[in-house]
Amino acid sequence: MARIDLFIGTVYGQAALVAERLASELEGRGHKVTLNEAARAKHLSPDRFLILVTSTTGQGDIPDNLAPFADDLRHKAPWLAPLRYALVAMGDSAYGDTFCGAGRTLDGLLQELGASPLVARLEIDASEEDEPERPALAWLKGWADRLDSL
């Protein structure tokens, strides 16, 4: 089974709730999951699968607790070619162009540094979904079997 790092960017706790539900589902499938709300680039490991769950704050900004991780990616630019990941971006489409800005930014940074998404980014709209864990679990169930071969 896969060893999974689950990095969380949260302001009010919704992203943490989603991450905890995903972790529970993954552990129920026999995977080993480590949650991290204070992630840094040094915590990345090519022999572990990465899942990021992040809300968006301000004008499309990354939450304060995950900002050091993004800064590491921007300024230290580690080569991440062997890293595989999946990403859940949370936001509110009422904010227009900044909708899911944190997740979109992190997705772009990871790919620029050579990491490869296993699946397409999930974007959850708070204007349409009052239980964000539901679409996140459905998304995970759609591809979780692929983790068995990693």
Per-residue pLDDT tens for 108-126?
Answer: 999 999 999 999 999 999 9
| Confidence band of 150 (pLDDT split at 50, 70, 90) | confident
Condensed to tens digits (0 to 9), the pLDDT of residues 9-65 reads 999 999 999 999 999 999 999 999 999 999 999 999 989 999 999 999 999 999 999
CATH classification at residue 18: 3.40.50.360
Q: Compute the average pLDDT of residues 80-94.
A: 96
- Classify residue 112: in a domain, yes or no: yes
- Whether 115 maps to a domain, the answer reads yes
For the chain, strand residue ranges (E) read 3-9, 32-36, 49-54, 84-91, 116-117, 122-125
Q: Is residue 149 part of a domain?
A: no
145 inside domain = no
For residue 14, is it within any domain?
yes
pLDDT of 88 over the 90 cut: yes
The answer to whether residue 54 is domain-embedded is yes
Whether 150 is in a domain gets the answer no
Q: What average pLDDT does this structure show over 87-115?
A: 96
Bridge partners, 91 (sequence order): 125
Distance of alpha carbon 24 from alpha carbon 21, whole angstroms: 5
Residue 113: which domain range? 3-139
**CB-based contacts of 60, cutoff 8 Å, min separation 6:** 91, 95, 97, 98, 99, 101, 102, 104, 105
* Domains contained in the chain, number: 1
Residue 63 lies in a domain: yes
89 CB-near residues (< 8 Å, 6+ apart): 54, 56, 100, 102, 103, 104, 106, 107, 121, 122, 123, 124
Cα angle value 135/84/14 (rounded, 5°): 35
Q: Report if pTM > 0.85.
A: yes
| pLDDT on residue 77 | 84
Q: How far apart are CA 22 and CA 139, in angstroms?
A: 10
DSSP state letter for 83 = -
